[in-house]
């Protein structure tokens, strides 16, 4: 197992963290990860992360839900067991489309929501009984942690992080 060094810089304010991220990024240091107790607006752009493709998967999952609902209603109400309900005979899917729209909408939303949750958990590698990967428990309460990779530049990085307002700076040996 290969070990690498990282610096953990702790901040107590999200605005100070945001300014620090911009300063560290502009100095061309690689920020491995940032741990925060709540979402910080604009942090992804400040870190230079690529935009998410989650909306595309949501749309595709909604399309799957719509297709399943159309197939299901056509099979159940038209092909398998057509019934005259309220004087409205079920001879074709198109004739009964207005009655099917709420079901189509609900299954579209159902599939998109449930499959998005499953995708999020798989993509984030979250599953039952997984050990937390949080390096400092204070980041679940009121502290912010920036993890920066070190390449024989500890002194330069430490000085830069002190300038940005870090309240605590720790050099950590991290196993991969």
CATH (domain of 167): 3.30.70.1150
More confident residue, 17 or 87: 17
Q: What's the number of domains the chain is made of?
A: 2
Q: In the chain, pLDDT over 70 holds for what percent of residues?
A: 95
> Do 81 and 118 fall into the same domain?
yes
pLDDT of amino acid 176: 61
For the chain, the residue count is: 176
Q: How confident is the model at residue 154 (pLDDT cuts 50, 70, 90)?
A: confident
Question: Do residues 19 and 166 lie in contact, with contact meaning Cβ atoms separated by under 8 Å?
Answer: no
How far is the C-alpha of 158 from the C-alpha of 25, rounded, in Å? 14
- Does 1 have pLDDT greater than 60? no
- Write the burial class of residue 49 (CB in 10 Å: 0-12 exposed, 13-18 middle, 19+ buried): exposed
Q: How confident is the model at residue 69 (pLDDT cuts 50, 70, 90)?
A: very high
- Write the burial class of residue 6 (CB in 10 Å: 0-12 exposed, 13-18 middle, 19+ buried): buried
Max Cα separation, the chain? Answer: 82
> Do 66 and 101 fall into the same domain?
yes
Q: What is the arithmetic mean of pLDDT over 1-7?
A: 73
> Do 39 and 71 fall into the same domain?
no
> Do 14 and 36 fall into the same domain?
yes
């Amino acid at each position: 197992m290969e070990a690498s060094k990282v610096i953990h810089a702790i901040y107590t304010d999200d605005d100070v963290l945001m300014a620090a991220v911009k300063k560290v990024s502009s100095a061309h240091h690689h920020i491995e990860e940032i741990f925060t107790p709540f979402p910080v607006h604009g942090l992804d752009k400040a870190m230079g992360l690529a935009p998410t493709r989650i909306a595309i998967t949501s749309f595709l999952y909604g399309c799957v839900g719509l297709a399943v609902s159309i197939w299901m209603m056509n099979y159940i109400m038209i092909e398998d067991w057509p019934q005259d309900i309220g004087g409205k005979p079920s001879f074709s899917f198109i004739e009964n489309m207005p009655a099917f729209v709420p079901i189509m909408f609900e299954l579209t939303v159902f599939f998109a929501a449930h499959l998005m949750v499953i995708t999020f958990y798989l993509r984030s590698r979250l599953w039952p009984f997984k050990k937390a990967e949080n390096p400092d428990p204070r980041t679940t309460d009121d502290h912010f942690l920036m993890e920066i990779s070190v390449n024989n530049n500890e002194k330069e990085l430490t000085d830069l992080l002190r300038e940005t307002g870090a309240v605590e700076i720790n050099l950590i040996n991290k196993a991969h």
